[in-house]
Structure 1
Amino acid sequence: MSERLIVAEPLTPEAFAPFGTVIDKDAVAPRPMNAGKARRFHDLAQVRVAGEDGHVVIGYVEAEPYGLPLAVSLVERHPLGAQAFLPLNAAPFLVVVCPDADGRPGRPRAFVTAPGQGICYAIGTWHGVLTPFGAPQDFLVVDRGGPGTNLEEFTFETPWSIRIRQPG
């Protein structure tokens, strides 16, 4: 059987648009606040939630690194709310997403964030688990809280292998 290989590409707003929003302060002009002592990079992403009793929650995640190449067998999606991951340092991390193919995940795509970039998955986007590599990494997570089933998981019969394109 041939290897199911995906090569991760750089994360750009255009390439990631079908799956959500790239969170990158370089995408907006800052505005001053606190008497000029701070700069605010406003409206970088919207975390939408569904359901009458749904609400936005903020969490903190301490994530252990994964080895590369990465074997991806499990993906998930959240039908009731978007989900944003904001790294608390400048280290890159791996983002795996799949287009929807009649209610199932299609062929994965993989992206490597630039230092400081975060992501916001759109409602219902199939995605891999939070995947730092090289070292542990901490994240703020913004997603939906409230009643209802907001997690669907899918396991590929044959895992996909994700590699990072080496420069040059």
Structure 2
Amino acid sequence: MSTAAAGLTLRTAEPLTREAFAPFGDVIQAEGAARHYTINGGNTERFHDLAAVEPGVDGRAIVSLFRGQPRALPFRVEMMERHPLASQAFMPLSGRPYLVVVAPPGAAPTAADLRVFLASAEQGVNYAPGVWHHPLLALDAVCDFLVVDRAGPGHNCDEVELPEALLIDLPR
């Protein structure tokens, strides 16, 4: 849902689903996983192959922790970034929902190109290579995320300022 006010577009976050997010990458979530099975003598349920981690040519996959500061809503999206060489996966660790803002790969996005998703505390995302996305958008409190992305040679982070900001909010 969008409305224009004072040169700004307002977009309300939509629920994060595998189908809606598919053009941008993978949703990482146990619920509805395609393959899962019991391991470790019946004590563990493995939810298998939930995201296509792509480290790119000459890259290697690394695991990091990111600590996101909470953002006040409504929030103005004024910039986006992308990683042209590899995917980047985020899995929340703090038990809190967060926002995901994305645009398709290709030319620098405008506010009209952006999709806004509300991710639950049990959902992670894996941005496909080249997908435009906003940096972490934690809500209400400081939140930690387990991040799987690329280390290696080459420039792997492009940032752009949007020609017009997008104002995002949660559904009421």
Q: Tell me the TM-score normalised to structure 2 length.
A: 0.90
Q: Assess if the C-alpha contact under 8 Å between 1:55 and 1:146 holds in 2.
A: yes
Shift of 1:115: 2.8
Q: 2:92 touches 2:124 (CA, 8 Å); kept in 1?
A: yes
Paired position in structure 2 for 1:124: 130
Match of 1:16, SS state, is helix
The residue aligned with 2:60 is: 55
Equivalent position to 1:81, from 67, 80, 86:
86
CA distance in 2 between counterparts of 1:105 and 1:125 reads: 10
Q: Is 1:160–2:153 an aligned residue pair?
A: no
Aligned equivalents of 2:53 and 2:90: distance in 1?
Answer: 11
Q: Does 1:104 align with 2:95?
A: no
Structure 1: how far apart are the matches of 2:135 and 2:121? 19
> Which residue is equivalent to 1:151?
157
Between 1:138-147 and 1:154-163, the stretch displaced more is 154-163
Q: Which moved more, 1:25-34 or 1:61-70?
A: 25-34
User: Matched residue of 1:105: which SS?
Assistant: coil
Matching of residue 23 in structure 1 with residue 16 in structure 2:
no
After superposition, the C-alpha distances for 1:99-156 in whole angstroms (9 at most, x for unaligned) are 24x5211421100012310000011000001111011111100011101000011101
CA distance in 2, matches of 1:78, 1:84: 11
Which residue is equivalent to 1:67? 72
Equivalence for 1:44? 50
Deviation at 1:4, TM superposition (A): 1.5
> CA offset at residue 98 of structure 1?
1.2
2:153 maps to amino acid: P
* 3-state SS in 2 of match to 1:4: strand
**2:141 matched to 1:139?**
no
Cα RMSD between the aligned structures? 1.3
The ranges of structure 1 where at least 4 consecutive aligned residues each deviate by more than 3 angstroms after the TM superposition are none
Cα contact 2:8–2:164 (8 A) shared by 1: no
SS class of match (1:17) = helix
Separation in structure 1 between the aligned mates of residue 26 and residue 123 of structure 2, nearest angstrom: 10
